[in-house]
A = this chain, B = another copy of it.
């Protein structure tokens, strides 16, 4: 089981009037600790949490105490996964939030998923999920704690030989995998163009996607964020999947469409994979 700290206190228990428990009223990030005990891209994750709490309408920023705790946990847990959930804190009955909430910070550390090394080596296959994501621009893009759609997606049995789900919205636009972002690479006039699905209506815009986009731009590849229809998948030459723990991997097949492995993925992994 994961080890947990609530507001800095190890193995503490939660007040059942916490609004993340009642309403999913919180946000979270999942971060990788490298072999040196450093959290990869920590500043970006904290920035993202701060922006996400602002989207939900409350103020939070990482305190010096929290930063010190993250550092000491990370030092003690190289090559682990560190999750930080920030809830709006306790509240009374009813949806209306306290005017001046006191956010609760819950840190938990757990092992990196065992299968990710094999996924990086061999690529992954995606099956098309029958669960499609609802459009809610007010919540799109942020990793809030209302994740029942993802729970439903993961509750279905993957077909043999597939590793994760390809997830669309209700307009049959490609949004993401069940717990990762996607980047399509199209070959145009002997150049590669990268396209990652827009998260204006649904989906979670991950920190690793930001990092991958920066790396692609470094490689001289133009990157577009825009709606991507399922039919466009057939025209893509390569498909990349990324999240904080896996870094980046090739998708070799999605919804029956096959993709060439990309010769740059291995070097991107050198930069993006926690090691």
The answer to whether A8 has its CB under 8 Å from any CB of chain B is no
Please, which residue of chain B has its CB at the minimum distance from the CB of A150? B95
Q: How many residues of A contact B (CB 8 A)?
A: 57
Within 8 A of B (CB), among A5-31: 6, 12-25, 28, 30
Contact between chains at A24 and B147 (CB < 8 Å): yes
CB closest chain-B residue, reference A17: B2
Point out which of A24, A25, A149, A155 has the most chain B C-beta atoms below 10 A from its C-beta.
Answer: A24
Known contacts A14-B15, A16-B14; is-contact A24 B97 (Cβ 8 Å):
no
Residue A96 is within 8 A (CB to CB) of chain B in the complex:
yes
Interface check A220, CB cutoff 8 A: no
Q: Select one of B1, B24, B93, B170 contacting A23, CB under 8 A.
A: B24
Cα–Cα distance between A170 and B56 once the two chains are bound (Å): 20
Question: Is A94 an interface residue when CB atoms closer than 8 A count as contact?
Answer: yes
> Whose C-beta in chain B lies nearest to the C-beta of A21?
B21
**Which chain A residues numbered 51 to 72 have a C-beta less than 8 Å away from chain B?**
56-57
Question: Contacts A57-B155, A134-B135, A135-B170 known; A148 to B25 CB distance under 8 Å?
Answer: yes
The chain B residue sitting closest to A179, CB to CB, is B95
The docked-state distance in angstroms from the alpha carbon of A97 to that of B147 is: 12
| Residues 121-147 of chain A, each 1 if its beta carbon lies under 8 Å from chain B, else 0 | 000000000010011101100001111
A14 to B81, CA, bound (A): 22
Contact surface of A with B, Cβ cutoff 8 Å? 1-2, 4, 6, 12-25, 28, 30, 56-57, 81, 83, 85, 87, 92-97, 106, 108, 110, 113, 131, 134-136, 138-139, 144-155, 170, 178-179
Given A22-B28, A81-B93, A94-B113, 12 further pairs, Cβ under 8 A: A1-B92, A6-B16, A14-B21, A20-B22, A21-B145, A22-B145, A22-B147, A24-B24, A83-B93, A93-B110, A94-B154, A146-B148
